[in-house]
């Protein structure tokens, strides 16, 4: 591994950057916010080491780094949820203390979180103004009409058409993200921090968000934007700061950097982001779906997956991709149609899938893929229990050997098999979810967003693993919102719209344009 | 998504059906049931349970549970009865009840919010402590001879309306406003739904959780006042077991044990359902052992209907 | 249920059982210092025998709690089971038929509970609470205020007898503890049950037949209650309708003191066994030290809270 | 689903309608404390038998939660609403029941008080003997039998219930009259057999030389009896209630005595007085049921199952 030679804190080209605004305010001579030498240690982990960063009004500052690089800790320091061990924060040149979220709010710092900070059974308006509801004439009582009016105003501002009285738990993920954005904007923030805000948004919603960011910039709001998507980094960023292992590696201008260069800075070595793979001639049909409809709303789904191929399933968020995966796997109730696995009729239950050698790697790793409080070993053996121990009795040695083999094969970084799953990084957790199906000798895999929330290094590993699987004769159905992944990795892809499959693209036709065209067609 | 208001799903359908069946059934079976006097009866009988069930709704909304409430009501009833005997003042008496209850709430809240002991365990411990203190305070005897101003709380009426009815109307109004019209109410939903959201909003979830249990304790004190007035006595074991009735009422009313999903009006209906069931069966002179069965069947049936409607996970 | 960071992080289970064992020893040393009567074979055998009945109830309950469930109906199951089985033993003069009756009632109640929880998805607290009332009502109706008593001495060996100078229930308890531990930790079903408690969705999506396993768990809890009913009959030589009401909360307390988490996925039978011993020791100690009856609920409550608090402290300092 | 619920509704309504049978004669409501104590079962059977023989009917009201005073007060409300002709009541708590009795008085329904004497309100008559006296007499019998000296253990009922308090007081009064007897332990076993057995097992470790055990009911006495015989103790034991099981134990010599004030007869007489009052026949203001300490010598009349017992004729009822 060759570590990049830039020392932390070294003056960088980007350091001299000044915003190009028309406002000739004296405030513009100093950064809106400046962090100097911020360090933070958690028990056993050095999360941040002497990180310095400055943001000007009207700037969009992209923050990059792998998981564990210190981005979220830095954000938490900024919003007052975590206090730094050392270092100082300057606001408009004056040193300030951010000891609590209330302090941060007073300074006009607002954060849009990726893990939602919403209360499910409160309505949109109460969520947007949680802890800040307008007071009415009677002391202690909320002025409801003003609350709803203000909320409507903020929602209009971001062009989000939803009833402010709607309870948040009834909204989809994308809409919840919009509420989260509305919540941050309603604070009239001068400094706005966004953590992968487009992760759950459709392209159209993302466009709307970008337009809003442009408007905020013009109003002089400083924006810190965390993203894993290279396209966004270059399209939106005024400057880019890369963090690695809790240190600032470099701050640079978009014009100074290429995507490969950024990845090298983040990972500390070169990583190929085109995920090369060997395309082979597919073998026999493994999965055949005919006219599948399910209670979740999908209907008339036809698709096949053959041995040795990776089949993409794409479309906008909400087009029914996850529902198709769940229906095929037997997680949702099927109303009509049939699923054949290796020629046999699928019994319509997850248990039956496991028995037939079909695996599902669900979208939400933590809530659906892992028993976080149990050990790595427990999780790895979960799907294989009946076939590994046919007598019904658990032999510790057998189990340990099987799990150990997968740990080695997938390169899962864990202290031991007795480590709790929650202590592992996202990438390693994802490997456990995949690994449990390898222990169970599954041959047909359904991946639902296998790389969401996983950093670039781990992403490449996951794709290499998927390639290995198909090379060994497995079949893969893969859902991804990142069209570039589909284009690079898949043999074929189905495109969904409005809970139906609207088209199939062969390898030669597979391009982001074609996917978008099919997915959006009215 | 368009701005069309989504149809609000009916809450607690099982309870609704059970209520209709019971109301019609009892009215058919007993000519005394649908009389104004009997309706008043049911309301008066249910008043103490309602005063306990309303704050229990808050507690359950925070993904909590309060098993101590029956013992705390009993403790408050003897404490306030002793104060009533000593001072003769209704103000002092009420204050004593509410204060003792709030103190029990502080203990619950402290154990749960600050020592982070699971609510089930913490309140099980408080249950024992409150029961002991009530016995020690009285030597196991009921405390009688309450002054007439205390008896007025259950027996009296203002402008022709019995005082307990005024109390429960006020209690419901207060708790409803608190839950739906104040920031505190939003925090209660957030305590069960997403505690992180509170921290990020700059609100201490610990303090709020503490407040919920103290509020529950204070209402237990108020319930004790009504109960003592009803019994003309403070009684060290008078409300033992009431916690389960209260939890059942809250659950019947459609409040979930998880995620901060709940409905205060449902609790009112849940309390009414339990009151109506006992009253109706008594009017039909159904034997006590069958009554015991009926309570269980009501609880199970109300939830069975819910299950047929809810979508698969 | 509660998402507090750090709360759900639990160290390896063997360590936690060892810590409980230490707590038990401390309690034992304390009691022998305070009362000279404590440290005698007879007293210790008494304590073990008293703990046995509690353990029979808590053993099934531990499995239920492992799945993040709760069974409030065990006390009432014991009441109904003991009353009906007692009548059968008297009238049919067959201990075996009686045993089959008690286990049959327990199993049937468990089956109903399990179906309510898994198929109808009624919260376990509510389903078993409703069941508690139904069973209690049935027991009252069936007994009509009478007591059934006086069983053949052969049958009573189950509660009263000795094998090699050790009370029969204690030997049965040891066997149940061994079998139960093997079941929970060394079988496919046991492991699946633990994982269902830790994350039911992940378990289902990994091919675990969640509903069948949940039903199994409640049936086992019901059977354990049915068996406890038999031991109760054999030990007490009688049964009446209200014997269950005072049994449920101690059984739950033993499970909690034993370190099982109500949020599921955490807990061992060995822990519950120690929990039952601690609770029994506390009651034994209060009797030996003549603690005033008024203060006994408080002492018990404080012990329960303290046990759980110490456990949590231990986890937090190490994580 | 609508169809299913309609059908269910029809079914349930049918059940409701089928239930509303009406008897011919007077309806007396009998309110007792709980379903668990055999004493009240005897009282209920007695009242039912007496009413039957006088061509009236009885409605039984028992709290679903044992000894719940608030539930008993609610049942009084409901009985008043139902307009029972007369009420026979055994109050859960003799002090806290008073507001309920006043309501009965206000509704002008004649009430007969049985078992525990209410501390307020107007009654046609009171039938009973108090727990205090019976406990004292039973204790005296035991203390005499152990020769007026030695160690004694008391097993108490549920703390906070009136009966438990009164019986404990009775025991202590009796003990005061025997200065050579030492009370070595007084612990609650909550009227439960299992708890009594376990508490006794524990106490025997610290007090192996105990000479007598005073249990506040028969259920506890028999639980303690098993623990004593297993430990090889020769301690004498008494209970209260005169339950069938206790009678058997007394007959076989395992138990010394059981105090009783005959719930069956109380039930009989309570119902008889209520009906006589309704029929404008003379009734006594008070019937003091003689408290009997049942021992080997006088157990014959008690050694009969409830169903086989006969209410006393009116002439046999002691009027005082």
pTM reported for the whole predicted model: 0.87
| Tens-place pLDDT, residues A197-210 | 887 777 777 888 88
Task: Check whether A15 has a pLDDT greater than 60.
Answer: no
| Tens-place pLDDT, residues A96-146 | 888 888 888 888 888 887 767 889 899 999 998 988 888 888 888 888 889
Decide if B114 contacts B211 (C-beta within 8 A).
Answer: no
Chain B residues touching residue D35 (CB < 8 angstroms) = 288-289
Distance CA D99, CA D73 (A): 8
CA C167, C168, C174, C177 dihedral sign is negative
The beta-carbon neighbor of D187 closest among C42, C160, C287 is C287
Q: Do A332 and B177 touch (CB under 8 A)?
A: no
CATH number at residue D82: 3.40.50.2300
Q: What angle do CA B5, B194, C267 make, to 5 degrees?
A: 130
Average pLDDT over residues A223-230: 84
Q: What proportion of chain A, given as a percentage, has pLDDT over 70?
A: 91
User: What is the nearest CA distance from D313 to chain C, expressed in angstroms?
Assistant: 25
| Tens-place pLDDT, residues C106-149 | 999 999 999 999 998 888 998 999 999 999 999 998 988 788 88
- DSSP for A467-493, please give it: HHHHHTT-EEEEE-S-HHHHHHH-SEE
Q: Do A141 and B182 touch (CB under 8 A)?
A: yes
313 residues of chain B, pLDDT tens digit each: 323 333 345 677 788 888 888 999 998 888 888 888 889 989 999 999 999 999 999 999 999 999 999 999 999 999 999 999 999 999 999 999 999 999 999 999 999 999 999 999 999 999 999 999 999 998 888 888 899 999 999 989 999 899 999 999 999 999 999 999 999 999 999 999 888 888 888 888 999 999 999 999 999 999 999 999 998 889 888 888 899 889 999 988 888 888 888 899 999 999 999 999 989 988 888 888 888 888 899 888 888 877 665 544 4
Q: Which of B217, B238, B241, B216 is nearest to B81 (CA)?
A: B238
pLDDT at D20: 42
pLDDT at D215: 96
* Block residue for tokens 């003792």: B100
Label residues A328-362 b or e (16+ Cβ within 10 Å = b).
Answer: bbbbbebeebebbbbeeebebbbbbbbebbbbbbb
User: Domain end: D209, D244, D260, which one?
Assistant: D260
The beta-carbon neighbor of D16 closest among B25, B227, B291 is B25
Chains contacting C with at least 3 CB pairs below 8 Å? A, B, D
Task: Check whether A2 has a pLDDT greater than 60.
Answer: no
Q: Which of D105, D193, D106 is nearest to D155 (CA)?
A: D193
pLDDT at C114: 96
CB atoms within 10 A of CB D176: 11
Q: Do B189 and A119 touch (CB under 8 A)?
A: yes
* pLDDT tier for residue A10 given thresholds of 50, 70 and 90: very low
* D96 close to B (CB below 8 A): yes
Distance CA D287, CA A65 (A): 92
Q: Do B285 and D59 touch (CB under 8 A)?
A: yes
Chain A residues touching residue C208 (CB < 8 angstroms) = 351, 382, 385
Distance CA C151, CA C154 (A): 8
* C4 close to A (CB below 8 A): no
* A513 close to C (CB below 8 A): no
Pair type for strands A191-195 and A222-226:
parallel
- Nearest chain A residue to B5 by CA distance is A163
Chain B residues touching residue A144 (CB < 8 angstroms) = 181
Q: Choose between A240 and A45: higher pLDDT.
A: A240
For residue D142, the enclosing domain spans 132-260
* Ranges of each domain in chain A: 119-187, 280-357+444-453+475-522, 365-442
Phi first, then psi, for residue D121 (nearest 5°) are: 90, 165
Q: Choose between B244 and A161: higher pLDDT.
A: B244
Q: What angle do CA D214, D216, D218 make, to 5 degrees?
A: 95
Element (H, E) at D229: helix D218-230
Report the length, in residues, of chain A: 522
Strand, coil or helix: A505: strand
Q: Strand pairing partners for A1?
A: none
Q: Choose between B33 and A317: higher pLDDT.
A: B33
* B202 close to A (CB below 8 A): yes
* C261 close to B (CB below 8 A): yes
Distance CA D8, CA D23 (A): 29
Q: Choose between A161 and D297: higher pLDDT.
A: D297
User: What is the nearest CA distance from B219 to chain D, expressed in angstroms?
Assistant: 18
Chain C residues touching residue A349 (CB < 8 angstroms) = 209
Within a domain: residue D91?
Answer: yes
| Tens-place pLDDT, residues B162-171 | 999 999 999 9
Chain A residues touching residue B311 (CB < 8 angstroms) = 295
pLDDT at D192: 87
Within a domain: residue D8?
Answer: no
Task: Check whether A172 has a pLDDT greater than 80.
Answer: no
pLDDT at C8: 38
Q: Which of A437, A371, A438, A388 is nearest to C187 (CA)?
A: A388
User: What is the nearest CA distance from B145 to chain A, expressed in angstroms?
Assistant: 40
Within a domain: residue D1?
Answer: no
Chain D residues touching residue B37 (CB < 8 angstroms) = 81
CATH 1.20.120 assigned to C13-23+37-312: no
B residues 123-152 closer than 8 Å to D (CB)? 134-135, 138-142, 144, 151
Helices (H), strands (E): how many in chain A?
A: 17, 20
- DSSP for C116-138, please give it: HHHTS---HHHHHHHHHHHHHHH
C residues 43-82 closer than 8 Å to D (CB)? 43, 46, 50, 53
pLDDT at A215: 85
User: What is the nearest CA distance from C230 to chain A, expressed in angstroms?
Assistant: 29
CA C62, C68, C74, C77 dihedral sign is negative
Distance CA A321, CA A315 (A): 7
Distance CA A30, CA A92 (A): 6
Distance CA A432, CA D90 (A): 67
Domain count along chain D: 2
Average pLDDT over residues A224-232: 83
| Tens-place pLDDT, residues A265-278 | 877 766 666 677 77
Decide if D47 contacts D17 (C-beta within 8 A).
Answer: no
Average pLDDT over residues A412-439: 86
Q: Do C121 and B310 touch (CB under 8 A)?
A: yes
| Tens-place pLDDT, residues D143-182 | 999 999 999 999 998 887 778 888 999 999 999 999 999 9
* D36 close to C (CB below 8 A): yes
* Ranges of each domain in chain C: 13-23+37-312
Interface test with C, best of A353, A385, A398, A446 (most C CBs within 10 A): A385
The beta-carbon neighbor of C236 closest among D40, D159, D193 is D193
Distance CA C310, CA C20 (A): 10
| Tens-place pLDDT, residues D19-56 | 444 446 889 999 999 887 788 888 999 999 999 999 99
Average pLDDT over residues A359-365: 89
pLDDT at B210: 97
Q: Do B285 and D82 touch (CB under 8 A)?
A: yes
Element (H, E) at A289: strand A285-294
ipTM: 0.85
Mean pLDDT for all residues in chain D = 87
User: What is the nearest CA distance from C300 to chain B, expressed in angstroms?
Assistant: 7
Q: Two tokens at A392?
A: 């019904």
Average pLDDT over residues A192-196: 86
Q: Name the E strands within chain C.
A: 148-149, 162-163, 166-167, 238-239
Distance CA B274, CA A453 (A): 49
Element (H, E) at C215: helix C210-236
> What is the block-wise mean pLDDT of chain C (319 residues), using blocks of 10 residues?
37 74 88 87 89 94 94 95 94 92 97 94 91 93 86 88 89 95 92 93 93 96 96 90 86 91 89 93 88 88 88 67
Fold of A280-357+444-453+475-522: Rossmann fold (3.40.50)
Report the length, in residues, of chain D: 320
Within a domain: residue D308?
Answer: no
User: What is the nearest CA distance from C288 to chain D, expressed in angstroms?
Assistant: 6
Distance CA A97, CA D167 (A): 69
Q: Which of C73, C105, C104, C101 is nearest to C86 (CA)?
A: C101
Report the length, in residues, of chain B: 313
Q: Which of A245, A159, A248, A247 is nearest to A207 (CA)?
A: A159
pLDDT at A1: 34
Strand, coil or helix: A443: coil
Decide if D116 contacts D94 (C-beta within 8 A).
Answer: yes
């Amino acid at each position: 591994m060759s570590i990049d030679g830039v020392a932390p804190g070294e003056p960088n080209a980007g350091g001299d950057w000044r915003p190009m605004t028309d406002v000739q305010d004296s405030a513009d001579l100093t950064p809106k916010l400046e962090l100097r030498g911020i360090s933070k240690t958690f028990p056993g982990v050095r999360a941040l080491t002497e990180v310095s960063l400055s943001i000007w009004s009207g700037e969009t500052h992209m923050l990059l780094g792998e998981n564990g690089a210190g981005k979220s800790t830095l954000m938490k320091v900024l919003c007052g949820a975590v206090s730094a061990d050392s270092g100082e924060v300057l606001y408009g040149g004056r040193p300030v203390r951010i000891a609590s979220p209330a302090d941060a709010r007073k300074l006009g710092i607002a954060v849009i979180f990726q893990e939602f900070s919403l209360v499910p059974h409160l309505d949109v308006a109460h969520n947007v103004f949680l802890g800040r509801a307008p007071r009415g004439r009677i002391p202690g009582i909320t002025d409801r009409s003003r609350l709803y009016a203000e909320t409507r105003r903020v929602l209009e501002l971001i062009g989000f058409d939803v009833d402010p009285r709607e309870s948040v738990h009834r909204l989809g993920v994308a809409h919840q993200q919009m509420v989260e954005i509305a919540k941050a904007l309603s604070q009239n923030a001068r400094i706005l921090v966004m953590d992968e805000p487009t992760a759950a948004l459709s392209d159209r919603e993302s466009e709307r968000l970008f337009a809003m960011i442009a408007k905020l910039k013009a109003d002089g709001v400083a924006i810190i934007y965390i993203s894993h998507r290279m396209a966004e980094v270059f399209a939106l960023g005024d400057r880019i700061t890369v963090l690695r292992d809790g240190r600032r590696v470099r701050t640079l201008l978009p014009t100074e950097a290429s995507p490969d260069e950024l990845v090298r800075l983040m990972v500390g070595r070169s990583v190929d982001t085109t995920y090369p793979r060997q395309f082979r001639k597919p073998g026999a049909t493994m999965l055949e779906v005919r006219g599948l409809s399910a209670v979740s709303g999908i209907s008339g789904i036809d698709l096949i997956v053959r041995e040795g191929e990776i089949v993409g399933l794409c479309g906008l968020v909400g087009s029914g991709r996850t529902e198709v995966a769940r229906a095929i796997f037997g997680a949702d109730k099927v109303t009509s149609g049939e699923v054949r696995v290796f020629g046999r009729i699928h019994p319509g239950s997850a248990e039956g899938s496991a028995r037939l050698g079909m695996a599902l790697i669900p979208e939400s790793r933590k809530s659906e893929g892992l028993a976080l409080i149990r050990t790595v070993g427990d999780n790895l053996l979960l799907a294989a229990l009946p076939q590994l121990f046919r007598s019904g009795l658990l032999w510790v040695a057998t189990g340990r050997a099987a799990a150990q083999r997968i740990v080695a094969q997938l390169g899962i970084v864990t202290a031991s098999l007795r480590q709790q799953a929650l202590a592992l990084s996202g990438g390693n957790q994802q490997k456990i979810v995949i690994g449990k199906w390898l222990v169970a000798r599954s041959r047909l895999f359904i991946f639902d967003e296998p790389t969401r929330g996983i950093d670039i290094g781990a992403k490449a590993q996951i794709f290499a693993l998927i390639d290995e699987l198909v090379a060994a004769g497995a079949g893969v159905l893969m859902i991804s919102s990142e069209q570039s992944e589909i284009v690079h990795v898949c043999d074929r892809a189905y495109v969904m719209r409005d809970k139906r499959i609207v088209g199939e693209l062969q390898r030669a036709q597979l391009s982001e344009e074609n996917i978008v065209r099919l997915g959006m067609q009215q | 998504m368009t701005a069309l208001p989504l149809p609000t799903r009916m809450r607690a359908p099982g309870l609704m059906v059970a209520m209709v069946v019971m109301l019609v059934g009892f009215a058919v079976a007993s000519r005394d049931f649908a009389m104004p006097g009997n309706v008043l009866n049911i309301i008066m009988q249910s008043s103490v349970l309602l005063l306990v069930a309303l704050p229990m709704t808050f507690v359950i909304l925070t993904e909590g549970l309060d098993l101590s409430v029956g013992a705390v009501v009993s403790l408050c009833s003897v404490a306030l009865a002793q104060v009533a005997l000593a001072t003769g003042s209704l103000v002092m008496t009420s204050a004593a009840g509410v204060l003792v209850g709030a103190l029990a709430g502080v203990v619950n809240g402290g154990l749960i919010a600050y020592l982070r002991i699971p609510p089930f365990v913490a309140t099980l411990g408080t249950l024992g402590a409150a029961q002991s203190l009530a016995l020690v305070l009285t030597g196991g005897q009921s405390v009688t001879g309450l002054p007439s101003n205390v008896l007025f709380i259950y027996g009296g009426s203002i402008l022709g309306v019995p005082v307990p009815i005024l109390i429960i109307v006020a209690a419901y109004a207060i708790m409803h406003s608190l839950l739906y019209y104040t920031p505190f109410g939003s925090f209660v939903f957030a305590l069960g739904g997403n505690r992180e959201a509170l921290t990020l909003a700059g609100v201490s979830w610990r303090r709020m959780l503490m407040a919920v249990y103290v509020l529950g304790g204070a209402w237990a004190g108020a319930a004790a006042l009504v109960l003592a007035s009803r019994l003309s006595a403070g009684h060290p074991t008078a409300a033992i077991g009431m916690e389960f009735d209260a939890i059942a009422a809250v659950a019947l009313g459609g409040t979930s044990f998880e995620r901060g999903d709940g409905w205060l009006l449902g609790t009112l209906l849940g309390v009414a359902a339990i009151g109506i069931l006992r009253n109706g069966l008594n009017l039909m002179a159904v034997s006590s052992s069958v009554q015991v069965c009926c309570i269980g069947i009501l609880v199970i049936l109300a939830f069975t209907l819910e299950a047929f409607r809810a979508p698969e996970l | 249920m509660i998402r507090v960071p750090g709360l759900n992080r639990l160290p390896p289970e063997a360590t936690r059982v060892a810590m409980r064992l230490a707590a038990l020893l401390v309690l034992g040393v304390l009691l022998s210092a305070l009362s000279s009567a404590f440290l005698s074979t007879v007293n210790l055998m008494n304590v073990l025998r008293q703990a046995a009945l509690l353990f029979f109830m808590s053993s099934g309950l531990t499995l239920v709690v492992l799945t993040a469930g709760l069974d409030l109906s065990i006390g009432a199951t014991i009441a109904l089971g003991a009353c009906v089985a007692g009548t059968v033993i008297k009238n049919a003069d067959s201990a075996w038929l009686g045993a089959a009756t008690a286990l049959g009632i327990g199993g049937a109640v468990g089956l109903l509970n399990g179906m309510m929880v898994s198929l109808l998805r009624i919260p376990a607290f509510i389903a078993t609470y409703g069941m508690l009332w139904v069973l209690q009502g049935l027991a009252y109706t069936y007994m009509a205020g009478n007591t059934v008593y006086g069983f053949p001495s052969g049958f009573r060996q189950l509660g009263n007898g000795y094998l090699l100078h050790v009370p029969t229930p204690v030997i049965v308890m040891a066997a149940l503890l061994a079998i139960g531990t093997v079941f929970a930790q060394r079988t496919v079903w046991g492991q699946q049950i633990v994982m269902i408690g830790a994350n039911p969705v992940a378990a289902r999506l990994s091919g675990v037949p969640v509903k069948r396993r949940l039903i199994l768990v409640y049936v086992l809890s019901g059977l354990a209650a049915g068996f406890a009913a038999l031991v109760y009959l054999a030990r007490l030589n009688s049964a009446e309708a209200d014997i269950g009401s005072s049994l449920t909360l101690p059984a739950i307390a033993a499970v909690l003191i034993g370190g099982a988490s109500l949020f599921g996925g955490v807990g061992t039978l060995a822990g519950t066994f120690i929990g039952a011993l601690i609770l029994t020791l506390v009651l034994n100690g209060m009797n030996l030290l003549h603690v005033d009856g008024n203060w006994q609920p408080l002492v018990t409550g404080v012990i329960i809270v303290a046990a759980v608090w110490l456990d949590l402290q231990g986890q937090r300092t190490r994580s | 689903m609508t169809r299913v619920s309609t059908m269910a509704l029809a079914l349930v309504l049918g059940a409701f309608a089928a239930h509303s049978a009406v008897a011919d004669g007077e309806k007396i409501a009998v309110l007792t404390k709980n379903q668990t104590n055999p004493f009240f079962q005897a009282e209920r059977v007695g009242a039912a038998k007496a009413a039957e023989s006088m061509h009236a009917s009885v409605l039984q009201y028992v709290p679903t939660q044992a000894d719940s005073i608030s539930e008993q007060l609610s049942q009084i409300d409901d009985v008043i609403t139902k307009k029972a002709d007369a009420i026979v009541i055994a109050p859960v708590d003799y002090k806290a029941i008073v507001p309920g009795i006043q309501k009965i008085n206000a509704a002008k329904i004649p009430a007969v008080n049985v078992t525990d004497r209410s501390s307020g309100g107007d009654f046609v008559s009171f039938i009973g003997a108090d727990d205090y006296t019976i406990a004292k007499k039973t204790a005296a019998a035991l203390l005499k039998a152990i020769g007026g000296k030695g160690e004694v253990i008391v097993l108490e009922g549920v703390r906070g219930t009136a009966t438990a308090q009164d019986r404990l007081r009775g025991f202590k009064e009796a003990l005061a009259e025997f200065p050579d007897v030492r009370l070595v332990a007084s612990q609650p076993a909550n009227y439960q057999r299992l708890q009594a057995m376990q508490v006794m097992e524990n106490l025997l470790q610290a007090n192996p030389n105990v000479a007598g055990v005073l249990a506040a009911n028969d259920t506890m006495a028999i639980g303690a009896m098993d623990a004593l015989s297993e430990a090889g103790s020769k301690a004498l034991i008494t209970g209260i209630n005169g339950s069938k099981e206790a009678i058997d134990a007394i007959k076989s010599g395992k138990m010394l005595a059981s105090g009783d004030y005959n719930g069956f007869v109380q039930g009989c007489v309570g119902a008889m007085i209520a009906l006589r009052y309704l029929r404008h026949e003379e009734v006594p203001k008070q019937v003091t049921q003689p408290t009997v300490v049942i021992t080997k010598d006088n157990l014959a009349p008690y050694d009969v199952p409830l169903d086989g017992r006969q209410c006393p004729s009116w002439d046999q009822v002691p009027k005082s």
